[in-house]
Chain A
Amino acid sequence: MSTQMQPQTTAATGFTDLSARDRVRSLLDPGTMHELLTPFDRLTSPWLEKQGVVPQFDDGVVIARGKINGQNTLVAAIEGSFQGGSLGEVGGAKIAGALELAIEENRNGNPTSAVLVLETGGVRLQEANLGLAAIADIQSAIVELRAMQPVVAVITGPVGCFGGMSISAGLCSYLIMTREGRLGLNGPQVIEQEAGVNEYDSRDRGLIWGLTGGEQRFQCGLIDQLVSGSVGDTRSAVVQCLASGVPAVHPSEAWLQHKDALQAIDMDQPMTPSYARQILQQGDDQ
């Protein structure tokens, strides 16, 4: 899609260093990327300019059909550098609409899986209710598609995956993260604002990565694969997840096993990364 010469992407290149478009290209088999609604279509947000924000011609979302290991796959990636990877009406509709077409493709007998590269703070505040509605559409489509073919979430950084889209990640068949990746419902600043600095200090980076970073999420059994962050590793993990097929139990149902462990949490004990691991690993043993 790009009209400029790209620096050569190799297996050792950092996945996080790539733009959303290059991330998509790096996951697909060479020469198979067919981007839909490219910047040339100029489908921009109808709402940003009214608020003094310069829109982008792809609204910060890249959608492509192609093949991964020879299998039909839809890849969607959110560009974290545009408005913090926030989802507005157009970007949200691109992801939801593409997933809906993948569902249709499966119904027509053409197996098509999906990979979502999630670099997002969640709903774009400037398009609030339309971002939220789009996320509800995306979630419905993930649940429908994952029953037919795997839907894989990839969360690397630097933004991480927050807000309504963290719930979308939780609906996927498989989750892949890097150590720099973060995954959580509420962003640190929002929690600090709503609950106070004693509850959550948004400047304490150690605490934040300790609780929501890729390593911790992996140790807690909340994700399937922890990868180094190179293009080669990330792609291998995606290939492996896709090859595993539709899981017998999806993460959104498997997590219910922690019910008793949650009730047993000692509210007098501070919530630290190690206490969190202790509780969630307990659930795994049941």
Chain B
Amino acid sequence: MSTLISPKGLQWFAALTKQCQSISTPIDSVRIADGELGAHSCRFLLVTANPQAHFPRARRGEVGLQEGIALAEAINDVIEQDAHSDSKRTLVAIVDTPSQAYGRREEAMGIHQALAASVSAYARARQAGHPVIALLVGKAMSGAFLAHGYQADRILTLANDAVMVHAMGKAAAARITMRTEDELDVLAQSVPPMAYDLKSYASLGLVDTMLELSPASSDSDVNEAPGELDTSLVEQALRTTQADILKQPRGLSRRLHGQNRQASLRVRQMLAEQWNAGA
């Protein structure tokens, strides 16, 4: 378990929402801001660390019970407010979260249902016509990523060692599969979905754009806030992505064309062929 709290999410949220209006939320670990992306209204959403959080297992940036609720409410408000508008606000999920919250209270209260609330909100927003973009600036792990980002129309990532998408942290995965972390890395070379590096993840067809930043910002050990050049590069990418979403058919099917995700498409083709046979 990592002991460091990542500053990346908050830094990028601050950089991208300078001109935005901050929206109050019931908890400090969820940050919301409204602004413009090009000519389009936009809401930025972030889950970040709050050392004073009510739930002790959700103080390091995890998506917990209250985070699921706060995300869902912030998104549900947008869906409701724009219900009769032709112009649906864009949602940008800034993702830097180490995991879902692991704890006894969380399980007892039904944390799966809290995360379902935010998954539902993101999915309904996209299905109602809101462009949804996930911007990965740090870790995007497991249930936390499902709850905050994975329902997006497009996934953008910084081309940066700090960015990691996975179903389970490396140390835990090594323990559970009874391998060393080095053995996991060797295995991952022939099994890309097991790998922890961004290039392998991109080979699955799940990333739309990888953003190359200036050397200072792309060094994951440097904890400085993003500079103006990098910020404007990311803003430009968000605008381009938003425009692209608005002119294309919606849904997650564009993720099915990865070099290392061919079985997912094959299964769907065969299902479609067999669906009407014998019915």
Contacts and interface: CB of A to CB of B under 8 A. Distances in A.
B142 A164 contact: yes
Contact of A255 (B110, B126, B268, B274): B110
A65 B279 CA distance: 8
Interface residues of B, number: 81
| Residue of A63, A193, A217, A255 most packed against chain B (CB within 10 A) | A255
Contacts of A29: none
Given A97-B267, A185-B100, A255 B167 contact: no
| Residue of B173, B201, B261 most packed against chain A (CB within 10 A) | B261
B107 A184 contact: yes
Interface stretch (A9-17, A119-127, A227-235, A240-248): A119-127
A18 interface: no
B66 A255 contact: no
A230 B190 CA distance: 44
A167 B274 contact: no
A37 B272 CA distance: 10
Interface string A85-96: 000011011101
Interface stretch (B35-43, B144-152, B234-242): B144-152
Interface stretch (B3-11, B16-24, B111-119, B217-225): B111-119
A134 to B, nearest CB: 7
A63 B267 CA distance: 12
Interface in A245-280: 250-253, 255-256, 258-259, 262-263, 265, 267, 271, 273, 275-276, 279-280
B103 A200 contact: yes
A133 B206 contact: yes
Interface string B95-134: 0000110111111111111111101100110110000000
A265 B143 contact: no
A267 B110 contact: no
B120 A171 contact: yes
Contacts, number: 256
A150 interface: no
B206 to A, nearest CB: 6
B116 A167 contact: yes
B11 to A, nearest CB: 26
B193 A89 contact: yes
Contact of A90 (B56, B109, B111, B263): B263
Interface string B29-62: 0000000000000000000000000111100000
Nearest to B270: A37
30 contacts: A43-B266, A50-B191, A89-B193, A97-B271, A97-B272, A123-B168, A125-B168, A125-B176, A129-B195, A129-B201, A133-B204, A133-B255, A133-B264, A140-B123, A140-B126, A143-B119, A144-B123, A164-B143, A170-B116, A185-B112, A199-B102, A200-B103, A211-B108, A251-B116, A252-B72, A255-B117, A262-B109, A265-B54, A271-B104, A280-B109
> 5 tightest A-B contacts by CB?
A170-B116, A166-B112, A93-B267, A143-B123, A276-B108
Interface of A: 34, 36-37, 41, 43, 45-47, 50-51, 63, 65, 89-90, 92-94, 96-98, 100-101, 122-123, 125-137, 139-140, 143-144, 163-164, 166-171, 183-186, 189-191, 193-195, 199-200, 211-212, 217, 220, 222, 250-253, 255-256, 258-259, 262-263, 265, 267, 271, 273, 275-276, 279-280
Interface of B: 1, 26, 54-57, 65-66, 69, 72-73, 76, 99-100, 102-117, 119-120, 123-124, 126-127, 142-143, 145-147, 150-151, 165-168, 172-173, 175-177, 187, 190-195, 201, 204, 206, 251-252, 255, 260-264, 266-268, 270-272, 274-275, 277-279
Given A132-B150, A170-B117, 9 more contacts: A34-B277, A50-B190, A97-B272, A131-B167, A132-B142, A133-B204, A163-B143, A185-B111, A262-B65
